[in-house]
Amino acid sequence: MAKKTYVLDTSVCLSDADCINQFKNNDVVLPIKVLEEIDNHKKRQDGVGANARKVIRLLDALRERGSLSRGVRLGKGKGILSVSSYHDIDLSLLPLYIESKHADHVIIATALTIFKENEGTRRKVILVSRDINMRVIGNSLGLICEDYATSKAVSDCDILYTGFTEHLVDDQVIERFYDKEEIILDKEEGDFYRNQYVMLVSNLNEKRTALSRFIDYGRPLAPIKESKIDGWNIKARNKEQSFAIDLLMDRNVEVVTLIGRAGSGKTLCAIAAGLEQVVGSNNYYSRLIVSRPVMPMGKDIGFLPGSLEDKMAPWLAPIKDNLEFLTNNDANVIQDWKNKGLIEVEALTYIRGRSISNAFIIIDEAQNLTMHEVKTILTRVGEGTKIVLTGDIEQIDNVYTDETSNGLTHVVEKFKDQDFAGHVTLRKGERSNVATAAAKIL
């Protein structure tokens, strides 16, 4: 099979710092414009900045082994990495209506130049970008364009694991389950994942059902133990919320992921469960840590006036809203908890380097995290800590990830058969009729 040459866009490097090593025995080209754009991001205090700095370090290490302009072997069984400079680019290959000053267009021109150099050979030249529009423009100019597929957890978000399935059984099985007899599912009956919720449906009457949780093959189905959080007046309004509360209140499930549209109750249920197990009657954990990624819309957070707390206030307002709702707007109680160290509400930026034990951690808006950022967070989890990741994969603000490649999606898919993890997709909005309709039809 003929070797290929992959020309990488900036978005690929900023979403995966190790991307240059993901193309097997094929050659990789980084346009010089990509290095300039990476340099512009290196001071960012987030996952994108961390990836930018790591890419620069990797290239510096390769530079010591040879000339990047001539090409350096990436390793045994791998291809050659080279950096294409400006004098290698034939800008005349771009149509007149495309500006050559635009960074994306310079990268496309680099790929077109390499493509022209390899005309008449069997070698394919492929432009790899996370930017959909860049792939469209490149393809319209005759290039083969691909997304950076190695970072995808699933091929399509419609097949993402939901944490729930229906299973057709004999009518007497439903009766036996309600009589608290042991119902065991074996592998011949289907594929089930640990801590997956199973709705047993009678084969005689589809309206006759029973809700259960699958623990493992050879072990009996477990009934749903918790569907409300008494101390905070939270009661499940649908079966998915029942599943979520059941997982949140189970100490044996140390990693919980909740995906749902706006108003589905994912964040409220998580915070209520955390409060119940920290300051409530069921105080198993020593503190509640609630955080969310800072995704700037326009200016970065550093441009906001005031102290660090003042700067963080707009970003953490949704968490504050939920806390106020649960405490009947008692700001003194919340402040007292903070003073005693029972509750920490902070930006996700400051979690790197920490080791957090005996805590209930909630990471809200986790769909805006990359896989590598989520890995950084999960590796901070110490003994006796439970971590909950919540988010809506239909509302992603991070330009370097999407519905199938974000960190939350990766955790859902890769942890779905771990006995210490559980997932629920909340389908129905419960905030208000307006919020539910807006999430569905807008």
Residue 46's beta-bridge partner residues? none
Strands (E), 57-113: 72-73, 80-84
CA dihedral 361, 366, 368, 371 (to 10 degrees): 90
Question: In 92-230, which ranges are continuous DSSP H helix?
Answer: 103-117, 132-140, 171-178
pLDDT at res. 431: 66
| Positions in the chain short of pLDDT 50 | 297-301
pLDDT digits (tens, 9 = 90+) for 161-206: 999 999 999 999 999 999 999 999 999 999 999 999 999 999 999 9
Phi-psi region of 97 (alpha: psi -120 to 50; beta: other; left: phi over 0): alpha
Query: Which candidate, 264, 408, 278, places its Cα nearest to that of 348?
Result: 408
Give the pLDDT score at 135.
95
Q: Which residue intervals of 289-432 are DSSP H helices? A: 308-326, 331-339, 371-378, 407-414
Q: CB neighbours (10 Å) of residue 373?
A: 25
φ, ψ dihedrals at 359, nearest 5°: -135, 160
**Beta carbons within 10 angstroms of residue 395's beta carbon:** 13
Distance CA 377, CA 375 (A): 5
The whole-number pLDDT of residue 352 equals 66
Instruction: Report which secondary-structure segment, H or E, holds 11.
Output: helix 10-15
Query: Taking the mean position of all CA atoms in its chain, how far away is CA 312?
Result: 22
Say which CATH topology domain 227-441 has: Rossmann fold (3.40.50)
DSSP 200: E
Q: How far is CA 247 from CA 13, 73, 161, 226, in A?
A: 36, 48, 16, 8
What pLDDT, on the 0 to 100 scale, is given for residue 128? 96
Residues of the chain with CATH 3.40.50.300: 227-441
- What is the predicted pLDDT for the residue at 50? 85
DSSP 3-state of 270? helix
- The fold of the 4-151 domain, in CATH, is Rossmann fold (3.40.50)
State the span(s) of the chain assigned CATH 3.40.50.1010.
4-151
